[in-house]
Amino acid sequence: MDLASKLEKLSLQLVQKQDYLYSVTVGFERLESLLLSFLNEFGYITLDSINCRDDLEDGFFTITYCLQTKDRDHVVMVQTKIQRENASLPTMHTIWPQAEIMEREMHEMFGVDFPGHPTLIDFALEYWDNMPPLRRDFDTLEYVNSMNPFREQRGDALDAKEEMKKKREAKKAAKLKAQQEAEAKAALEAKNNPSDEVKNEE
Amino acid sequence: MIFQIILLIMLAYVVGFIYFGLYRNITARIQGRYGPTVYQSFYDSIKLFSKNNTVSYGWMFYLGPVIMATGAVLTLVLVPVFSDSDFLRSVTSQGNLFVLLYLMVLGPLGNALAVGTGGNPFGVMGVVRGLTRLIGLELPFYIAVVGLIIAANSSDIVHIIDLQKTAGLNIINHPLLFIGAMISMVGFFGASPFDIPGAPQEVYSGPRTEFSGKFLALLMSQGSLFAFAKLVLIVDLFLGGADSLVMLVLKTFTIFVAIIFIGIVYGRYKVEQAVDFLMKLPTLIAVLGLARIVWFG
Amino acid sequence: MAIDVKGVLSPLSAIGTLFEHPRTLTYPEVKKDIPIGYRGFHINNLETCVGCASCEEICMNDAIDMIHPDKEYNVKNTSGCIPRIDYGRCCWCSLCTDVCPPGSLKLDNICTHADCDPDNFLYMPKNHKNIGEEAS
Amino acid sequence: MKNNLKNTIKIFHGPQHPGITGNMSVELDLLGETIKRAQTHVGYLHRGFEKLVERRTVVQAFTIVCRICVPEPDPNEENFARAVENLAGLEISEKAKYIRTMVLEMQRLATMFLWMGGQAGSIGLGLIPQWSVCDRDYMLDLFEELTGGRVYHMYAFPGGVRRDLPEGFLDKLSDLLDYYEKRIIVYNNTFFDNVIFKKRAIGVGVVNRDEVLKNGYVGQTMRACGIQKDVRKDMPYLMYDKLDFDIPIQQDGDVYARAIVRRDEMLQSIRILRQIIKQMPKEGDILQKIPKHRKFKLPADDTYVQTESARGAMSYYMAGDGSEKIRRMQVRGPSLVHAYTLLEKLLVDSELADVAMTMNSLGICPPEIER
């Protein structure tokens, strides 16, 4: 592919992920210039989406810019990694107007800062004062439990695993008991063996 | 006399609401539904009359619906309902067409007074739209009426009715005037190409936004009274009036159904498009009709 | 001032539907047939339910509780429990019926429930005997 | 900017309004009836699906993606299923592919009928919504039979589809298509040819052709500007490369052009469905069971899939991390850019009466903007 050789000159590698999907990984410092050369030199004029992935364990965000050419016959993902702490990205809204809203959303959901962005206001969450919600250390369940009381009516739920164990044990115990009883009975019978004749008569 | 007026108002109330119920049924049938019962509008009206108002902006706010209702009742009283009987004849012979035309504008003015007090932007916008539309609506209608006055040589409605008995119906004699007047009548009824003041998708029912309870019911009632009065007026002017209740219902209903059909199948104009349209086509038709009367008799 | 004659006249053809039969149903008297396979309320064959709690595990809404039945239906029921569904939380995704190992839990095509008491949204799946007949 | 907004009144169009399906508010600064500034506000429907799937396994997450867009859930399911299939390397059978293509096209038709209702309703033509929603319901009846649900189908499962076709389903579908073809002629007479609709729609909401591709406008907004692009043709998925269909385009880029494009697309959908009915394999698996179904581990990789929904290309970004949970699923529907970048631009200097119509014609679906 033509793009691969062009990228090789920039010492970047184009990876084919799926039939119509390619990806290229770039360092953060070269991101802006690479996106510009994608737009101006390689003909990838459409910015389809910007998305962010929180790799909490490794301590960085993976940012993906999905670009398309005029033909729209394949997608190239330009990926970069930025630090989770004080994350900051160059804003693209002057080049692609739709980046404004995507960056606003990312700012709200991940807390990524975009210096120079004109409208970093609330997107969907109004008066939100907690941690940016799509960061993975934000625990939804905990938040919901702290905000909303649960109805008490479902207190009679049983833990099926426990019940299974209990039943199994009960069964085992019953079996044991039955065995013991049988043994006792056998012992009793053995004891009573001499008086067999009497029993039979009865 | 008072008894007759009350009887007339009750008649108009019942017939108006039944017409409104029929309107809802016919619309529903064309839309592929069953629709509510014919009496549904009565139930709505009774329900609303038994409710309290939720918001108030002072007495001026309440005066609006009252002024509108007054306009409707006066129009109703001044329009001769039956052509031959003595019913209310002494009142109707006092008024003439000019008084009626003034009274017909009373409604929008009352609306403007009340809604202006309310201060709801949608209401104000609806009123402005309504008044703008009125410019367009009045033009062809007034030209048609002037044509009829010239033809009858009188501005008395009773005289116009009487003349049609001898000279033939105005709808046949002056069809151009009828078309012009009918198109603007569609607008006076608030049917679809011209239902701009209360457009739910644009100004959220416009002037009626703030009204609730009894005053909304009053608005509804005056709407149906006024609708009936306007239907009777059209019948008087162009279809030679009605001498019995059956003829009255038959003739008004025919006009009414025609207006419904137009309202159902067309969408809504924007306000300047509506004025533009009304000032061109119907006005032209009415002017042609007027010219025909002036030059050819 | 060109007049679009077709645009003015062709919409009037809609009036022809005035005398067609309405396509809506008068609901309480006439009801629509709900097809077999509709994802309605749960039914559970208690004779075969093994109380494995797979349904409880897969339910993403935590709508399913395992509770003791009024009497023992299935001797082979490993935990002695049967599922009860909170219809305040259920989204009728039918995953619980997909994972049910004996295939005892099913969705019926009954789908109306109206009650004033919110506690009645805890729904005990109706017991059904023959899966083959009511296969969904 | 400030000086421009002198003497304007500020009104909120929405969040409840008849223009579009869902709750979204547009803050308008009006001078008379002319809009001087428009600002979109969302947040009335935020349900946090992208966050919710992080807590769920693949199988559990699949049941909530259909709720992302209420009028057309199926492209979401398709996207989700295909993203998981891409990540897990699953190959689905031909019959499952055909069924999924069929469901997508059925959904497209149903959505178009709903759109037509909204578009006609926004100009006060109350007749068409009643008709078209009724016609859409016939399609929902078929969905009910096929999938068990009317609106939320939860049908396209990673690895195939969840149920086989019921008996006689294709015949019923074929009958319905005959009916739809007749109905589209009726709609043509009453709505698309309607003089008022033409008068209201022509020249309103004109999209600048030069910025379409760059700004990422998709779907009918793009095709009404004369750009013949469609994901079904350019990046064919499922069975679309084996089916014969055209991409209708118009040149004007206004509301009317978009309406005509949509009408033609309905006819194309009917054409595609007829071919599917003819080619549908009789035998075959419908579901390839994903290994360890309940505790399926998604590989540590990411993918990006696109599906042509009835309103434009809908894309999902999905990343796994080698555990049972999905690490990140991002939804990029057509509405986000249309409702913000495009709508805010189109509404300036238009009139209040055009707002609902323009919004509807762009195919904006608020639940999909904020997920």
Domains plus CATH for chain D?
A: 3-370 (1.10.645.10)
For residue D194, the chain B residues in CB contact (below 8 A) are 265-267
Tokens (6 digits) for A56: 């909490």
Whole-number Å distance between alpha carbons of C133 and C43: 13
Strand order in the sheet with C64-67: C64-67, C82-86, C122-123
pLDDT at D204: 85
Helix axis angle, D94-121 to D352-361, nearest 10°: 170
Q: Does B3 touch chain C (CB under 8 A)?
A: no
pLDDT at B87: 64
Q: What are phi and psi of A14, to 5 degrees?
A: -95, 125
In terms of DSSP H, where are the helices of B31-120?
A: 40-49, 59-78, 89-92, 97-118
Are the CB atoms for D332 and D315 separated by under 8 Å?
Answer: yes
Q: What are phi and psi of B257, to 5 degrees?
A: -65, -40
Locate the domains of chain A by residue range. Answer: 2-136, 165-193
Q: How does pLDDT run across D93-140, given as a tens digit for each residue?
A: 888 888 889 888 989 899 889 888 888 888 888 888 888 888 988 988
Q: How does pLDDT run across D129-177, given as a tens digit for each residue?
A: 888 888 988 988 888 888 888 888 888 888 888 888 888 888 888 999 9
Interface residue of C36, C56, C94 to substitute, partner D, most D CBs within 10 Å? C94
**Residue A176: pLDDT above 70?**
yes
**Residue A10: pLDDT above 80?**
no
Q: How does pLDDT run across A55-104, given as a tens digit for each residue?
A: 888 888 888 888 888 888 888 888 888 888 888 888 888 888 888 888 88
Q: Number of C-alpha atoms within 13 angstroms, CB side, residue A95?
A: 16
Q: By a Cβ cutoff of 8 Å, what residues of chain A touch chain C?
A: 151, 153-154, 156-161, 163-164, 167-168
For residue D152, the chain C residues in CB contact (below 8 A) are 91
Distances (CA, A) of A56 to A60, A72, D193, D329, D333: 6, 33, 57, 15, 26
Q: How does pLDDT run across D295-340, given as a tens digit for each residue?
A: 778 888 888 888 888 888 888 888 888 888 888 888 888 888 888 8
Task: Round the CA-based radius of gyration of chain D to a whole number and report it.
Answer: 21
- Do you find a cis peptide bond into D15, omega within 30 degrees of 0? yes
pLDDT at C134: 46
User: Nearest Cα to D192, choosing from D134, D115, D139, D244?
Assistant: D115
* Domain span at B162: 2-296
User: How many inter-chain contacts (C to D, CB under 8 Å) are there?
Assistant: 68
Sign of CA dihedral B238, B243, B244, B245: positive
Domain count, chain B: 1
Residue of D nearest to A110 (CA): D51
Whole-number Å distance between alpha carbons of D328 and D302: 9
pLDDT at A70: 84
User: Nearest Cα to B133, choosing from B261, B291, B277?
Assistant: B277
Q: Does D92 touch chain B (CB under 8 A)?
A: no
Average pLDDT over residues B93-97: 68
Distance between D233 CA and the closest CA of chain A, angstroms: 9
Query: Looking at A77-81, A195-199, B34-38, D241-245, which range is the least confident one?
Result: A195-199
Q: Does D311 touch chain B (CB under 8 A)?
A: no
Locate the domains of chain C by residue range. Answer: 33-127
**Residue A195: pLDDT above 70?**
no
* Residues near D334 by beta carbon (within 8 Å), at least 6 away in sequence: D217, D218, D219, D221, D309, D311, D312, D313, D314, D363, D368
Give me chain A's average pLDDT, please.
81
**Residue A164: pLDDT above 80?**
no
Return the CATH number of the domain spanning residue range A2-136. Answer: 3.30.460.80
Are the CB atoms for D349 and D357 separated by under 8 Å?
Answer: no
Tokens (6 digits) for B284: 């032209």
Query: Looking at A147-161, C82-96, D334-348, which range is the least confident one?
Result: A147-161
**Residue B297: pLDDT above 70?**
no
Q: Does D195 touch chain C (CB under 8 A)?
A: yes
Q: By a Cβ cutoff of 8 Å, what residues of chain C touch chain A?
A: 51-53, 56, 65-68, 78-81, 86, 88, 118-119, 122
Q: How many CB atoms lie within 10 A of CB C86?
A: 19
- Are D370 and A124 inside 8 Å of each other by CB? yes
Average pLDDT over residues A108-136: 83
To which residue do tokens 């396209």 refer?
A: D156
Q: Number of C-alpha atoms within 13 angstroms, CB side, residue D361?
A: 34
Distances (CA, A) of A197 to A185, A187, A201: 18, 18, 6
Predicted confidence band of residue B95 (pLDDT cuts 50, 70, 90): low
For residue B265, the chain C residues in CB contact (below 8 A) are 11-12, 14-15
pLDDT at C135: 44
Enumerate residue ranges in chain C where pLDDT < 50: 131-136
* Residues near A32 by beta carbon (within 8 Å), at least 6 away in sequence: A90
Q: Does D39 touch chain A (CB under 8 A)?
A: no
**Residue B174: pLDDT above 60?**
yes
For residue A138, the chain D residues in CB contact (below 8 A) are 51
Distances (CA, A) of B96 to A66, B103, B150, B242, D360: 75, 11, 14, 18, 49
**Residue A202: pLDDT above 50?**
no
Are the CB atoms for B271 and B202 separated by under 8 Å?
Answer: no
Fold of C33-127: Alpha-Beta Plaits (3.30.70)
Q: How does pLDDT run across B42-58, given as a tens digit for each residue?
A: 888 888 888 888 777 77
User: Nearest Cα to B5, choosing from B221, B225, B227, B159?
Assistant: B225
Whole-number Å distance between alpha carbons of D228 and D220: 10
Distance between D189 CA and the closest CA of chain C, angstroms: 5
Helix (H) / strand (E) element for D9: namely: strand D9-13
Average pLDDT over residues D259-273: 90
Q: Does C93 touch chain D (CB under 8 A)?
A: yes
* Residues near B190 by beta carbon (within 8 Å), at least 6 away in sequence: B197, B198
Report percent pLDDT > 90 for chain B: 0
Q: How does pLDDT run across A36-48, given as a tens digit for each residue?
A: 888 888 888 888 8
Distance between D318 CA and the closest CA of chain A, angstroms: 9
Are the CB atoms for C24 and B34 separated by under 8 Å?
Answer: yes
Q: How does pLDDT run across D29-59, given as a tens digit for each residue?
A: 888 788 888 888 888 888 888 888 888 888 8
Give me chain B's average pLDDT, please.
83
The one-letter amino acid at B295: W
